[in-house]
Amino acid sequence: MVHYTKSLLVLTLIMLSNSRAAHHHHDHNRCLSAALSHAEQHCTEAGVRLTPIRRAVLELIWQSHRPLGAYAVVEQLPSILGRPIRPPSVYRAIDFLLEMGLIHRLPSYNAFIGCPFPGSEHSDVFMVCRCCGSAAEVSAETLNKSLEDTASRAGFQLETQNIELSGLCASCQQEDSSS
């Protein structure tokens, strides 16, 4: 019994998610400034530079909780930077942010989303709202373990995962029921 309570506690402690912010009405400026300061810190620790271009691309991708495609980044970046920029430089900045785990790519949308907890344990599970398009990220150690176990029982060596869950976010559920 004691053991049962304990494992429940662990379960709640190790789940990370930004669904509260991504799927509810909130002050998004706080998300943006938190993301930028996380990124600065993450890069400093790794001994790499968050150059103005990399920072601007990150800022663009974090402009909302909806995944943003590379084409949109290329198109909107010059107005943020205040000067023209060639697409290859934009793609290099995107690659850098992906490598650093500051953004993720959602394969079926072919678009990018900012990571709310870079450097933490990851599950690469994204809850995408089919109504407003907002994507929240969730990470749970138990989920990773269960996927690893399942794959290994099937004789498969799991290396990467990228899971997109589709449904209705909290805000859209409310609008759904009030209409």
Q: Given the rule CB under 5 A, which residues bind Zn ion?
A: 21, 28, 31, 115, 129, 131-132, 137, 169, 172
Q: Which helix (H) or strand (E) holds 116?
A: none
**Radius of gyration (Cα) for the chain, nearest Å?**
18
CB of 87 to Zn ion, least distance (A): 25
Q: Give the nearer residue to Zn ion in terms of CB position, either 32 or 85.
A: 32
Q: Give the nearer residue to Zn ion in terms of CB position, either 56 or 137.
A: 137
CB of 26 to Zn ion, least distance (A): 6
Q: In this structure, are strands 163-167 and 125-129 parallel, antiparallel, or unpaired?
A: parallel
Q: Give the nearer residue to Zn ion in terms of CB position, either 152 or 162.
A: 162
Alpha carbon 71 to chain centroid, angstroms:
19
CB of 39 to Zn ion, least distance (A): 12
Are 138 and 23 spatial neighbours (Cβ–Cβ below 8 Å)?
no
Q: Give the nearer residue to Zn ion in terms of CB position, either 6 or 30.
A: 30
CA-closest candidate to residue 148, choices 163, 158, 138: 158
Distance (Å, rounded) from C-alpha 101 to C-alpha 89?
18
